[in-house]
């Protein structure tokens, strides 16, 4: 599959949201508590970007968005969230390509670390990030104690601490 990864404009945040919803739909009714992604809207995404700095990426296959992710700048690391690849585009390396894109971005901006959160109940996602070199640095539990999440981290070459 040929694709292009680029920063989403503010006018494209609706497409970021649409892509995320298609990707996260499989979790509806499966996660307790439910994924926060499923309750977000375009304004929520816009607000997160405005509050934390950062932005969103869109992955295009021709004229169709097939993936997206959001990111924000923290004191000492780049935080990546809501990595999304629509079901029909999975298995072709898009998720890996998005994360490699973030590694390059982090290094260019002189960040030495990328962090992300991943649900404990989503073991395939944990394996995906581990294969890319991410390690668990913290663990959290939801108040209901029905699930939790890891904070995973990877050191980025070329960045500075």
Q: How many CB atoms lie within 10 A of CB 58?
A: 21
Residue 66: which of 6, 119, 131, 127 has the closest Cα?
6
pLDDT at residue 158 tops 80: no
pLDDT tens digits, 60-110: 999 999 999 999 998 889 999 999 999 999 999 999 999 999 999 999 999
Is 124 a member of any domain? yes
Give the number of domains in the chain. Answer: 1
Q: What is the pTM of this model?
A: 0.93
Is 160 a member of any domain? no
pLDDT at residue 8 tops 90: yes
pLDDT at residue 114 tops 90: yes
Alpha carbon distance 21, 136 (integer Å): 26
Residue 160: predicted pLDDT = 64
153: Cα separation from own chain's centroid: 13
Alpha carbon distance 15, 80 (integer Å): 18
Is 84 a member of any domain? yes
CATH of the domain at 65: 3.40.630.30
Query: Which residues on neighbouring strands pair with residue 55, listed in sequence order?
Result: 71
Helices (H), the chain: 13-24, 42-52, 94-108, 123-131
Is 161 a member of any domain? no
Q: Containing domain of residue 40, as a range?
A: 3-155
Write the CB contacts of 132 (distance below 8 Å, at least 6 apart in sequence).
96, 99, 154
Residue 120 tokens, joined: 């404990």
Write the CB contacts of 9 (distance below 8 Å, at least 6 apart in sequence).
none
* Contact between residue 86 and residue 19 where contact means Cβ atoms under 8 Å apart: yes
């Amino acid at each position: 599959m040929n694709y292009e990864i680029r920063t989403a404009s503010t006018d494209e945040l609706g497409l970021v949201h649409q892509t995320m919803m298609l990707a996260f739909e499989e979790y509806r009714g499966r996660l307790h508590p439910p994924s926060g992604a499923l309750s977000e809207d375009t304004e929520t995404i816009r607000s997160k970007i405005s509050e934390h700095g950062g932005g969103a990426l869109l992955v295009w296959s021709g004229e169709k968005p097939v993936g997206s992710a959001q990111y924000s700048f923290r004191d000492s690391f780049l935080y990546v969230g809501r990595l999304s690849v629509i079901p029909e585009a999975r298995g072709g390396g898009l998720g890996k390509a998005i994360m490699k894109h973030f590694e390059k971005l982090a290094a260019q901006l002189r960040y030495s670390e990328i962090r992300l959160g991943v649900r404990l109940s989503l073991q395939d996602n944990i394996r995906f990030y581990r294969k890319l070199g991410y390690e668990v640095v913290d663990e959290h539990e939801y108040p209901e104690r029905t699930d939790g999440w890891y904070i995973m981290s990877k050191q980025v070459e070329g960045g500075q601490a």
